[in-house]
Structure 1
C-alpha cells in the first residue's frame, strides 16, 4: 500500500471517530483526556505514514563512476578475443530479452576503410561512433574516436576537423624545433623529435583532408539478428556484443587494429616518439588531448598511441603528467566487460 492510500484511509477512519468524539463531548460532561489522546494517535499515524514514504524512495544509481571496457587489452590473444566475441554473439539470442533499441556492439574491420566504404558496410544499421588512425608505415599515429550517427557525412566532417588540428600541431613542432639554440647532443636529439613530430602530423593532416582509408572499427546498436548480419560481411573481422553497456559515457571501447593478428600490441614504430605539442585555445577537434612524451625515446622503444575523442566542444588541455586514455573513475568493471585499445 502506498503512503497516499494509507493517509487517505487514516483520514477516513480517524477523522470520523474524532468528529464523533467531539460531538459526544459537546453533549455530555467534559472529558479533557479524550482529545489529547486522539490528537496523539493522529500524530503517531502521520509519523508512521512518513516513515512508510521514505521506504519507497528510489535508491540512487550505484553504477556512477563505473566504467565497462569492451575489446582487447595489451597482451591479449587476438584469435582468443575473436572466438570469445563470436560465442557472445551466438549466446545473445538465448539471453534475456534485449532493450527495444537493441544491444551496443563493437565492430572491428579486417582493414582500414574510407568513410564511404564504412557507410556501405553498415547500411541503415545505427552507428554511434567510429575509430580511426592514419596507418603510416612503421609509425605510431594517434587513434581517434569520431562521433558519427550519419555515415559518411559525420566521419568526413570529423576528419576535416582533425586535419586542421594536425596542421596546427605540425606548425607547433616546427616552431619548437626552430627555437632550440646551441648544438649539444641533447638539443640535437630533441630537435629531431620535433622535426619527426611535424612530419607525422603533416602526413596525418594530408590523409584526413583526403578522406583516407583510416576507419578500422565502430560502435553500433542493433538487435541480435542485425548484429549477426553485420558479422557476416566480408569487411567485418568481429562483432563484440556488449549487452552490459547501458550508457556510452560509462564504456571504453578498445578494438584491435587490423594489423594485429596474434597478440594485441602497439604497431612497430621505427621513428622516434613525437613530443607533446603546445596546447592552443581554439582546439575544437579533440575532447581530450593526446599526451606524448617530450623526452627522447631510445630507438626500438614502442609506445601505444592514445585514443582521442573528436568533438566540436573545446576542452582544457590535459597536463603532460596525466596518464592518457583512461578516464578517471571511482570503480572499474572488468567485463563481463573487457578493456581499451592497444594500438
Structure 2
C-alpha cells in the first residue's frame, strides 16, 4: 500500500472555506491515528482466548498439548528453503526484562511482546502487546501492559489484588517477558533458535496474514503439559 499522501481532494488555492474544512478533516484524521498509535492494539486475558472462525493459523501451544510435542513441531516449522519473511513466536528459557528484548531478537522486527508476571500458584494475566517498528516500543511494552491492567475491571477482591501486583511489577521493569512475535526469514529464524536464551522458535507459513492468526505463549515454567497455572496461593503484597 502506498503511504504517500493523496493530492486529489485538496482544495483549490484561494478558497478559505475549503481550506478550513480540509484542515479540520486532516486534524480529525491525524487525531484518530495518534490515538491508535497510543493504544497499540494491546490485549489482555487470563487464559488463551478461543480462536475465531476466521483464524486458521496459530502460534504457540494449544491448551492440553504436550510441551515436548510442541517443541518438536516448532523445530519442524523452521524447515524449508524459501527466504520469504515469516511470522514467528520466540519463546524464552527464562523471563526477560523489556530492556533485553532488542538484543534477544538479534535485529529482527518485533511485532508483539508477551508479558506475564510469574507468581507461584497465582494465576496472573497474560498480556500481549502489539508493537510498531523500532526498539523503543518493545522496551516500553512492560509499561504498556501495566496501563492495560490498570484499566481492566475486576470481579472480586482477589482479582483486584492480582491486578495491583501485576501492574506494580510491570511498572517496576520486572523480568516478565515470556516471548515475542517477530518477522524474519527461515534462515534468520533458524539462527535465532540456536541462541542460548531461546527455548523455541515456531514459524507460520509465509502466506500467513497479520491479524489472522492466534498467539498463545509457551511460558518458561511450562514443562509437561500446557495447562492454566493454579490459582490457590496467597497474593503477595508487593
Q: Which residues of structure 2 form unaligned runs of 5+?
A: 1-52
Larger Rg: 1
**1:128 paired residue number:** 111
CA–CA distance in 2 between the matches of 1:252 and 1:127?
16
Alignment counterpart, residue 92 of structure 1, candidates 80, 101, 105: 80
CA–CA distance in 1 between the matches of 2:143 and 2:89?
24
CA–CA distance in 1 between the matches of 2:176 and 2:198?
15
Aligned-pair CA distance for 1:156: 4.1
Q: Which has the higher contact order (CA 8 A, sep 6+)?
A: 2
Are the structure 2 counterparts of residues 201 and 115 from structure 1 closer, same or farther at C-alpha, using a change threshold of 3 Å?
A: same
How many residue pairs end up in the alignment?
Answer: 183
State the TM-score, normalizing by the size of structure 2.
0.69
Describe the superposition over 1:213-257 as per-residue Cα deviations: whole angstroms up to 9, x where unpaired: 111111111112211111011110011111155312111122311
Describe the superposition over 1:13-51 as per-residue Cα deviations: whole angstroms up to 9, x where unpaired: xxxxxxxxxxxxxxxxxxxxxxxxxxxxxxxxxxxxxxx
**Alignment of 1:264 onto 2:221:** no
Contact 1:75 1:263 in 2 (8 A): yes
Q: Which residues of structure 1 form unaligned runs of 5+?
A: 1-63, 174-192, 274-343
- Which 4+ stretches in 1 moved above 4 angstroms? none
**Alignment of 1:115 onto 2:122:** no
**1:68 paired residue number:** 57
Are the structure 2 counterparts of residues 161 and 242 from structure 1 closer, same or farther at C-alpha, using a change threshold of 3 Å?
A: closer
**2:158 paired residue number:** 196
Alignment counterpart, residue 181 of structure 2, candidates 205, 219, 226: 219
Select the structure that is richer in helix. Answer: 1
RMSD: 2.4
Are the structure 2 counterparts of residues 242 and 115 from structure 1 closer, same or farther at C-alpha, using a change threshold of 3 Å?
A: same
Select the structure that is richer in strand. Answer: 2
Structure-to-structure mapping, 1:1-343, within 5 angstroms: 65-89=54-78, 91-93=79-81, 97-99=82-84, 102-150=85-133, 152-169=135-152, 194-271=156-233
Contact 2:118 2:124 in 1 (8 A): yes
Are the structure 2 counterparts of residues 143 and 124 from structure 1 closer, same or farther at C-alpha, using a change threshold of 3 Å?
A: same
Describe the superposition over 1:146-185 as per-residue Cα deviations: whole angstroms up to 9, x where unpaired: 112456521343332333343455xx65xxxxxxxxxxxx
SS at match of 1:221: strand
Describe the superposition over 1:85-119 as per-residue Cα deviations: whole angstroms up to 9, x where unpaired: 11231x222xxx343xx111111111111011122
SS at match of 2:156: helix
Describe the superposition over 1:122-168 as per-residue Cα deviations: whole angstroms up to 9, x where unpaired: 13111111111111221111111111245652134333233334345
